Structure 1
Amino acid sequence: MDGQNLPEAGRVKGCATGWLGTLRCRVDAGGGRTAPSIHSTLQKKEEYLTPSVIANPALAPEGEKKIAWAGQHMPVLNALRERQLGDGSLKGLRIAMTIHLEAKTGYLARVLQAAGAEVAVCGSNPLSTRDDICAALAAGGVTVYARYNPAPEEYRRFQELTVEFEPDFVIDDGADLCALLHTTHRRFLPRVKGASEETTTGVKRERAMEADGTLAFPVIAANDADCKHLFDNRHGTGQSSINAIASLTNLMMGGKTVVVGGYGWCGRGLARYAHGMGAQVIVTEVDPIKALEAYADGFRVMPMLEAARVGEIFVTSTGDREIVTTEHFQVMRDGAILANAGHFDVEVDVHALRALAVSEEEVRPDVTEFRLPDGRRLHLLAKGRLVNIAGAQGHPVEIIDLSFAVQALSLHYLIHNYRTLQPRVYKLPHEIDEEIARIKLDTLGIKIDRLTASQEEYLHSWRD
Structure 2
Amino acid sequence: MTATRIDWTREHCRLLHRIREEFARTRPFEGRTIGTGIHIEAKTVALLTTLRAGGAAVVATGNLNSTQPEAVEALRAEGVTVIGEPTKDEHEHRGYQRQLLATRPDLILDNGGDLFAQYLDDPYPGLLGGTEETTSGRMRLAPLRDKLNRPILVINDSPIKQFAENQHAVGQSTLESLLRLTNRATNGLRVTVFGYGACGRGVADNFRGAHAKVSVVEVDPVTRLRAHLDGFDTPSRDQAVATADVIITVTGARDLITADDLPLLRDGVILANAGHFPVEIDADGLLAAADAVREYQDDLATLELADGRRIHLVARGHMVNLAGPRALGNSIESMDLGFALQARCLEAVALGQVDAASSVVPVPAAIDAQVANAYLADRYQ
Q: TM-score range by the shorter chain?
A: over 0.9
Q: Which amino acid in the other structure matches residue 217 of structure 2?
A: T
- Identical residues among aligned pairs (%): 37
Distance 1:369 1:361 in 2: 5
Residue correspondence of structure 1 range 441-452 to structure 2 within 5 A: 441-445=376-380
The alpha-carbon deviation at position 83 of structure 1 amounts to 3.5
The alpha-carbon deviation at position 217 of structure 1 amounts to 2.1
CA contact (8 A) 2:151 2:355 kept: no
Using CA pairs under 8 Å that are at least 6 residues apart, name the structure with larger relative contact order, 1 or 2. 2
Distance 1:420 1:128 in 2: 33
The alpha-carbon deviation at position 162 of structure 1 amounts to 1.1
* 2:40 matched residue in structure 1: 101
* 2:17 matched residue in structure 1: 78
* 1:200 matched residue in structure 2: 135
CA contact (8 A) 1:134 1:146 kept: no
Matched, 1:148 2:81: no
CA contact (8 A) 1:129 1:146 kept: no
* 1:91 matched residue in structure 2: 30
Q: Which amino acid in the other structure matches residue 407 of structure 1?
A: Q
* 1:350 matched residue in structure 2: 283
The alpha-carbon deviation at position 292 of structure 1 amounts to 0.6
User: What SS does structure 1 have at the residue aligned with 2:277?
Assistant: coil
* 1:238 matched residue in structure 2: 171
CA contact (8 A) 2:190 2:243 kept: yes
Partner residue of 2:5 out of 49, 53, 66: 66
Partner residue of 2:231 out of 285, 291, 298: 298
Matched, 1:162 2:75: no
CA contact (8 A) 2:254 2:279 kept: yes
The alpha-carbon deviation at position 150 of structure 1 amounts to 5.5
Residue correspondence of structure 1 range 135-284 to structure 2 within 5 A: 135-149=73-87, 151-183=89-121, 185-186=122-123, 188=124, 190-210=125-145, 213-284=146-217
The alpha-carbon deviation at position 418 of structure 1 amounts to 6.1
Q: Which amino acid in the other structure matches residue 100 of structure 2?
A: T
CA contact (8 A) 2:298 2:323 kept: no
Q: CA 1:133 to 1:422, structure 2 compared with 1: closer, same or farther past 3 Å?
A: same
* 1:312 matched residue in structure 2: 245
Worse-matched range after superposition: 408-417 or 264-273: 408-417
The alpha-carbon deviation at position 116 of structure 1 amounts to 0.6
User: What SS does structure 2 have at the residue aligned with 1:300?
Assistant: coil
Q: Deviations over 1:93-143 (max 9, x none)?
A: 100001111111011111110111000000022x21111211221122110
Distance 2:227 2:152 in 1: 31
Worse-matched range after superposition: 146-155 or 233-242: 146-155
Partner residue of 1:385 out of 312, 315, 318: 318
Matched, 1:427 2:362: yes
* 2:330 matched residue in structure 1: 395
Distance 1:419 1:271 in 2: 37
Distance 2:351 2:293 in 1: 53
For the pair shown, the structure with the greater C-alpha radius of gyration is: 1
User: What SS does structure 2 have at the residue aligned with 1:141?
Assistant: coil
CA contact (8 A) 2:16 2:46 kept: no
Distance 1:397 1:292 in 2: 32
Worse-matched range after superposition: 131-140 or 314-323: 131-140
The alpha-carbon deviation at position 307 of structure 1 amounts to 0.7
Q: Which runs of 5+ in 1 are unaligned?
A: 1-33, 35-61, 447-464
The alpha-carbon deviation at position 397 of structure 1 amounts to 0.7
Distance 1:332 1:113 in 2: 49
Alpha-carbon RMSD across the aligned residues, in angstroms, is 1.8
Q: Which amino acid in the other structure matches residue 199 of structure 1?
A: T
Distance 1:199 1:229 in 2: 10
Worse-matched range after superposition: 253-262 or 86-95: 86-95
Distance 2:237 2:270 in 1: 15
CA contact (8 A) 2:35 2:60 kept: yes
* 1:462 matched residue in structure 2: none
The alpha-carbon deviation at position 445 of structure 1 amounts to 1.4
Distance 1:150 1:337 in 2: 21
CA contact (8 A) 1:95 1:120 kept: yes
Q: Which runs of 5+ in 2 are unaligned?
A: none
CA contact (8 A) 2:153 2:358 kept: no
Distance 1:420 1:101 in 2: 29
The alpha-carbon deviation at position 359 of structure 1 amounts to 1.2
Distance 1:358 1:329 in 2: 12
CA contact (8 A) 1:304 1:328 kept: no
Distance 1:110 1:88 in 2: 13
Distance 1:410 1:228 in 2: 13
Distance 1:352 1:150 in 2: 16
Q: Deviations over 1:435-457 (max 9, x none)?
A: 111111112117xxxxxxxxxxx
The alpha-carbon deviation at position 71 of structure 1 amounts to 1.2
Distance 1:410 1:375 in 2: 53
CA contact (8 A) 1:97 1:172 kept: yes
Give me the TM-score of the superposition, normalised by structure 1.
Answer: 0.78
* 2:306 matched residue in structure 1: 373
Matched, 1:130 2:65: no
Worse-matched range after superposition: 367-376 or 259-268: 367-376
Partner residue of 1:120 out of 29, 45, 59: 59
The alpha-carbon deviation at position 355 of structure 1 amounts to 2.8
User: What SS does structure 2 have at the residue aligned with 1:100?
Assistant: coil
Partner residue of 2:254 out of 321, 344, 347: 321
Distance 1:227 1:131 in 2: 30
